[in-house]
Amino acid sequence: MQRWDKVPLDWAEAGSPRTGAIPFALDRNGNPRDVDEVPRGLACECTCPGCHGRVIARHGEIMVHHFAHEDRRECRHALEASIFGMTIKLLSEPQIRLCLPPFGDRQALASQVGAIFTRRQERKFFASRWVVDGEIIPVTNPVVHVSHIDDSTADSPDITLPDRQIEIHLISHKKTPQALLDRARSAPVSVLCIDLRKYAAMWWNICDEDKDGTRRVVSQAIDLLRDWLSNKEAGRGWLANAEFGKRRQKLIDWVGEQKKREKQQREAERLRLQQSGVPAPQEATEAPRQIPAMLNPSAGAVTDCWPPQIHGRPASTREFGMIKEEEATEAPQEEVPDKVIRENVGICPVCQASQNEVVLGSGPFQGRKAVCCSRYSRHPMTMVAPD
């Protein structure tokens, strides 16, 4: 399936979560429980999901309610393990919803496939920043593959949503986004990662803030986790997205059809001129096309492409009004090289080389600014409107 060559992982939390207090523990039946769902103290009969040692439910008046190890040990992965188990439980609940993040920058995609739009097409295509917008979906018929963090591996998703063809991986010390990249490249479905360290950071921030003010707002850690899963995009991202692949291929096919249509039009015009006895003008292998301003914001406003067109045919110098009739018979002057003002302001529609903004050194537009191919001077150029 189609995907980015390099997936941005800026949604992933860096570092390891703090150890010590945890918001969730396992009851005597092995089910994840919120600290406010059980009696206080050892009467909770709960164990740590990380080390399986006994924990105490602390329902104090100062600190946010939490579980603590009875022997005060520092369990390195207790927090991640507790969040993992409760996340699996919540995503298995009926009526639970999941917030999916957006994916695929439209400007980057258009530049990648060499898409050139008219002004109207440009406005429609760039109406949204993302190729696939974020959305909140109901979690229906989830398939749970792993219920405990010890069994979580990069070789298998933790949960799958068959109705949406989505694999969900919970990022922890057991699996990282980098470890999942190889799997994502060959996955026939979408691959979504949810970083548990993001929620861990959120929960610790509540523990560190004004206790009297926050304890009443978030009376249960499970409410915070449910809200984060259902309504927040933070801490999650796509390693592969099937819908993005379909839309990318659709754009590639559209670009191919545009090029094919333009080639047919040029051939038809050449035959028409040949039949009428008019010599066909010298053209590049690809028809000149306009660079969208949104893909090339530094180039400024642009005018029509060169050679200028009038009713689908090349305009004469008299019609274009650029060269006086008496100037057309003057002897050719020595060619002066173009002066480069800015580099890499666009992509050549013919050879896909970078384009530069230059001041033309010779010809009928000497001294005017234009966007030209950096590799071949005969490839189409776009005149820049005067300041």
Question: What would the pLDDT profile of 61-93 be if each residue is shown by its tens digit?
Answer: 777 788 888 888 878 888 889 999 999 999 998
- pLDDT at position 25: 92
CA proximity to 9, closest of 238, 241, 244: 238
Contacts of 286 (CB under 8 A, 6+ apart): 259, 262, 263, 349, 350, 379, 380
What is the distance, to the nearest Å, from the Cα of residue 209 to the centroid of all Cα atoms in its chain?
33
Question: Which of 235-249, 265-279, 283-297, 363-377 is modeled with the greatest confidence?
Answer: 235-249
pLDDT in tens, 206-251: 666 545 444 444 457 888 899 999 998 888 889 889 999 899 999 9
Beta partners for residue 309, in sequence order: 314
- Asked if 152 and 171 count as a contact pair (C-beta separation under 8 A), the reply is no
Q: Across residues 256-273, what is the average pLDDT?
A: 86
Evaluate whether 179 touches 156 at the Cβ level (below 8 Å): no
C-alpha 84/C-alpha 26 separation (Å) is 12
Name the residue with tokens 């993040």. Answer: 101
Cβ pair 149, 77 in contact under 8 A: yes
pLDDT above 90: residue 168: yes
Q: Between the CA of residue 172 and those of 80, 86, 152, 153, 186, what are the distances in Å?
A: 7, 14, 9, 10, 22
**Rounded Cα distance, 23 and 25, in Å:** 7
| DSSP code of residue 14 | P
Which carries the bigger pLDDT value, residue 39 or residue 325? 39
CB half-sphere exposure, 221, CA atoms < 13 A: 31
**Residue 97's pLDDT is what?**
94
Extract the runs of DSSP E, i.e. beta strands, from 227-380.
236-240, 302-306, 309-310, 313-314, 339-347, 354-359, 369-373
Tokens of 130: 């993302």
For residue 132, how many other CB atoms are within 10 A of its CB?
A: 21
Q: Model's pTM, two decimal places?
A: 0.64
For 16-46, b/e burial (b = at least 16 CB within 10 A) is ebebbbbbbbbeeeeebbbbbebeeeeebbb
How many Å from the N-terminal Cα to the C-terminal Cα in the chain?
46
Query: What CA–CA distances, in Å, run from 65 to 40, 106, 384?
Result: 10, 45, 65
Best mean pLDDT range from 206-220, 262-276, 327-341: 262-276
Q: What is the mean pLDDT of residues 35-48?
A: 89
Buried b (16+ CB within 10 A) or exposed e, 135-163: eeeebeebeebbbebeebebeebbbbbee
Strands 166-171 and 135-138: unpaired
Q: What percent of the chain has pLDDT over 90?
A: 23
| 239 CB burial (10 A radius; 0-12, 13-18, 19+) | buried
